[in-house]
Amino acid sequence: MSPPVTSRADIELATWSHLKGASWTVFQRMRASHGDDDVTPAQMAFLNVLLEADDGPLTPRDLAARIEVTPATVTGALNPLEAAGLIERVRQSSDRRVIHVLVTAAGKAQVEAWRAAHRAQIKAAFRDLSVAEMARLNALLRRIGEPIHGPPGGFARLARSDFTPRRNRRAPRPQGD
């Protein structure tokens, strides 16, 4: 049971904690519901960006810029997606140096399955709230800020955590006295 909140600072902290916890719970449930596929949430983010690009096919460099990661991170994400048949890299006919990344039919199906799971988890998270309560919560949250599109901490943090090889991750250095 949570300790009683007695000050504005306590209420702010408790509210933030509940918001973050609720978001994380939905995120983890969605991820667990697709535990049999080997697509990580970061890879799903890459697929979503590719599918939602309204200015034509993206190059790996375009994708890196949109997700705010390095081209090397994009390569690390695309290799397993290509191996799984979810994306394909296609050379541009007019300039063979340019490679576009396209989502395959299997990739589109994978994204749709994730989106359906996500919608189901969100529906389950709000099942105990009335429409009026959800509308009030939505209005209150809009006063805090604009909606966040993407995973907790942003695409860059998620992508780095999924694709940084374990051997390159460094343990935190001990702080001096």
Range scoring the smallest mean pLDDT among 101-115, 129-143, 146-160: 146-160
Residue tagged 């006919």 (tokens): 93
pLDDT score at 94: 86
What's the token pair of residue 43?
């890879």
Q: What domain range is 78 assigned to?
A: 8-165
Can you tell me the distance from the alpha carbon of 107 to that of 86, in angstroms, rounded to the nearest whole number? 4
Percent of the chain clearing pLDDT 90 (strictly above): 23
Domain holding 58: CATH number? 1.10.10.10
Q: Is the pTM of this model over 0.85?
A: no
**Does 128 map to a domain?**
yes
pLDDT at 151 over 70: no
**Does 31 map to a domain?**
yes
What value does the mean pLDDT of the chain take? Answer: 79
- Give CA 14 to chain center in angstroms: 24
**Does 109 map to a domain?**
yes
Q: Looking at the 3D structure of the chain, how many domains does it have?
A: 1
Higher pLDDT among residues 23 and 155, named by residue: 23
